[in-house]
Amino acid sequence: MFSRASFLYWNNQVRLKVTIGLLIIGSCSSAVAGCLIRDVETLGSFKTYYFCKNSLARPSYQISSYLNDDQSFSLFNFDARGVSVVCHEYDIHDEMNVKCQSAFPNFRNLKKRYTNNNSTVILYDLKNDRDKEELLDKLGNRLDFRTGRNSDDVEAIGCFSGINLKKREVYLGFTKDGFNDLQMCLIQLEKYFAKNKKGMISLL
């Protein structure tokens, strides 16, 4: 007979494998740009699913995540045909693991700029003084969308996404050692696009 502790451990491992399997399936099968967000509440338990794919052609990314009261899992892929960063994160009963791997050492082939037909996406390394100064300068301008109002907000969140429709520019801030956090700002970016189709179309 299994002890209660052994059963709970085995049950959690099965749930972990099943959930990660569903996330992989969702990530691979999500062909529609934008985010599918599903909230499920059952018997006092709350669950949220995210399946997101880039609305702009470049850079490409896919995000699949699952959150409930005491567990969370996520898979995040950025620029699959370029630097190809793949991140996974799970937090299960206070046991946490986060890891990102790039196809090139130290994110060497991560582009500074990604060009679309009608827009440019500019990346800023928040740990690079020059990049940080350039991004702070952008924050001083009137932006149509932003995930942080100032440098303190950006530092607290660990990432940044912003849009200047007049200049047709999209700004993304990240850190190499916390690259997984960028997915949070990309989800907010996709939520903005979902509510502002006209703005999104102007950047395609």
pLDDT per residue as tens digits for the range 80-91 = 999 999 999 999
What mean pLDDT, rounded, does the chain reach?
Answer: 86
For range 69-81, the mean pLDDT: 93
User: Locate tokens 């990049």: which residue?
Assistant: 131
Q: In which band, very low, low, confident or very high, does the pLDDT at 140 lie, cut at 50, 70 and 90?
A: confident
Query: What local confidence, expressed as pLDDT, does residue 22 receive?
Result: 45
| b/e burial code for range 2-37 (CB count within 10 A of at least 16 → b) | eeeeeeeeeeeeeeeeebbeebeebbeebeeebbee
pLDDT of 123 > 60? The answer is yes
Query: What local confidence, expressed as pLDDT, does residue 29 receive?
Result: 44
Q: Note the pLDDT tens digit of each residue in 147-188.
A: 999 999 999 999 999 999 999 999 999 999 999 999 999 999
% of the chain residues with pLDDT over 70: 84
**pTM, two decimal places:** 0.83
Where in 43-131 does DSSP place strands (E)?
45-53, 61-67, 71-78, 85-92, 95-101, 113-115, 120-125
Compute the 3-state secondary structure of the chain and give helix, strand, coil in percent, each to the nearest 5. 35, 35, 30
User: CA-CA distance, 71 to 129, in Å (whole number)?
Assistant: 36
Q: Note the pLDDT tens digit of each residue in 15-45.
A: 444 444 444 444 444 446 899 988 888 777 8
Query: What local confidence, expressed as pLDDT, does residue 122 receive?
Result: 98
Query: What local confidence, expressed as pLDDT, does residue 43 receive?
Result: 75
